[in-house]
Amino acid sequence: TLRWGVPRPRAGAAKRVIVAQAGAGSYKVAILGAAGGIGEPLSLLIKMSPLVSALHLYDTANVNGVAADLSHCNTQVEVAGFTGKDELVGSLDGADVVVIPAGAPRKPGMTPDDLFSVNAGIVKELVEAVADHAPGALIHIITYPVNSTVPIAAEVLKRKGAYDPRKLLGVTTLDVVRANAFIAAAKGLPLADVDVPVVGGHAGTTILPLLSKARPKAAFTDEEVEELTARVQNAGTEVVEAMAGAESATLSMAYAEARFLEASLRGLDGDADVYECAYVQSQVVPELPFFASRVKLGREGVEEAVGSELRGLSDYEARALEALKPQLKASIDKGIAYVQQQQ
């Protein structure tokens, strides 16, 4: 089995079933936007998953080469390519999980509004198709800006009478993966042991790693807290700059989604103790209808958004949480308004 650095269960938690024997190899996954920078490496990682039986790759660009190439890897996952809008419906057939990284990444000179209008339309169109042809599938939204694209997806599903908040998840795993990596390095901790919850949203200062809740417990100076928090929040820019602006994070994002997908599939399979952070409809912060926190994943998707980690925050975290609320609320409202303005 593959391990994605998923944290070990807490002391006293129900014993984890070793990766899903019963459901091994029985889940169907569709990736919409599979020919892209994230889609391609993500497809390779999913082709290696022991939990998956079929992988459907859809893109408006030609994705048949990726599908043909992957189909030569001798793992049990059957791969099929679906190129062009006429093939979207076929790609959704029987999907248990639909992963959406379709869209444009942020390019130099592009304003957040430019990105919003391109990606909002793409997410709307794709989620409409999921509502019609794969109702009941879990939907993982990767497309930026996640703070708005998840509320867009929710509104689209509501209009279709197909909204189940347990099944709509914004993927924030990359923030957790980064926080774990940076904090393990800063404190000299074994990577496999480090688990940092990241709450809030999935852009800039709405990303809030809770260092006071990190396991194992570690002491941080005020300067370290500020530096590490800023590094997690700006990690995307670190990659864009190192790539000299040509691309944004794709490999680490593919890895993060592979980890999140495995957690979701283990939840669907009835594994008792699956927790990950994700951006979901939530009552954890009453004034924010969508919020990233640790969630419990089960047979129907999100079983519970865990709010307990927001109690007993450090002063720094409590201030940062207050400060992010208006920004996150504005992004949520923008997503909802986008759909409400459409015919």
Q: Give the residue with the Cβ less far from ligand NAI, 23 or 145.
A: 145
**Does the footprint of ligand NAI cover residue 201 (CB under 6 A)?**
no
Beta bridge partners of 291: 280
Question: In this structure, what DSSP letter does residue 137 have?
Answer: -
Stretch of residues binding ligand NAI (CB under 6 A), selected from 35-43, 176-184, 193-201, 330-338: 35-43
User: Of 23, 41, 101, 201, which one interacts with ligand NAI (CB under 6 A)?
Assistant: 101
Tell me the C-alpha distance between 68 and 87, whole Å: 16
Q: Are 145 and 109 in contact (CB under 8 A)?
A: no
Residues between 226 and 255 with contacts to ligand NAI, criterion CB under 6 A: 248-250, 253
Q: Alpha carbon of 96 to those of 28, 65, 112: distances in Å?
A: 5, 24, 32
37 contributes a contact to ligand NAI by CB under 6 A: yes
Closer by beta carbon to ligand NAI, 19 or else 34? 34
- The site string for ligand NAI over 139-178 (x = CB under 6 A, - otherwise) reads ---xxx-x------------------------x--x----
Per CB under 6 A, the list member of 45, 66, 102, 150 interacting with ligand NAI is 102
Q: Which residue has the tokens 């890897």?
A: 73
335 is an interface residue for ligand NAI by CB under 6 A: no
CA torsion, ordered 59, 61, 64, 70, to nearest 10 deg:
-70
Torsion of CA 227, 229, 232, 234, to 10 degrees: -70
Q: Which residues contact 98 (CB under 8 A, 6 or more apart)?
A: 29, 30, 32, 92, 130, 134, 137, 138, 139, 140
Q: How many positions of this chain bind ligand NAI (CB under 6 A)?
A: 30
Work out the angle at residue 253's Cα, subtended by the Cα atoms of residues 251 and 257, and round it to the nearest 5 degrees. Answer: 120
103 makes contact with ligand NAI (CB under 6 A): yes
- Is 202 assigned a catalytic role? yes
The catalytically annotated residue of 56, 133, 140, 202 is 202
Q: Does residue 59 bind ligand NAI (CB under 6 A)?
A: yes
Residue 236 CB, nearest approach to ligand NAI (Å): 7
Q: Which of 19, 35, 45, 177 binds ligand NAI (CB under 6 A)?
A: 35
Q: What is the DSSP letter of 207?
A: E
Q: Which amino acid is at 273?
A: D
* 116 sits near ligand NAI (criterion: CB under 6 A): no
Kindly state the tokens that stand for 181: 């990596």
Distance CA 19, CA 62 (A): 34
Return the residue of 43, 91, 119, 180 that touches ligand NAI, per CB under 6 A: 119
User: Which residue in the set 61, 73, 191, 330 belongs to the binding site for ligand NAI (CB under 6 A)?
Assistant: 61
Name which position in 6, 31, 33, 150 contacts ligand NAI (CB under 6 A).
33
290 binds ligand NAI (CB under 6 A): no
Output 247 or 303, the one with its CB closest to ligand NAI. 247
Please name which of 237, 211, 239, 167 lies closest in space to residue 309, comparing C-alpha atoms: 211
- Pairing mode of beta strands 52-59, 78-83: parallel
Q: Which residues are catalytic?
A: 202
Question: Which residues of the shown chain bind ligand NAI in the complex (CB under 6 A)?
Answer: 32-33, 35-39, 59-61, 101-106, 119, 122, 125-126, 142-144, 146, 171, 174, 248-250, 253
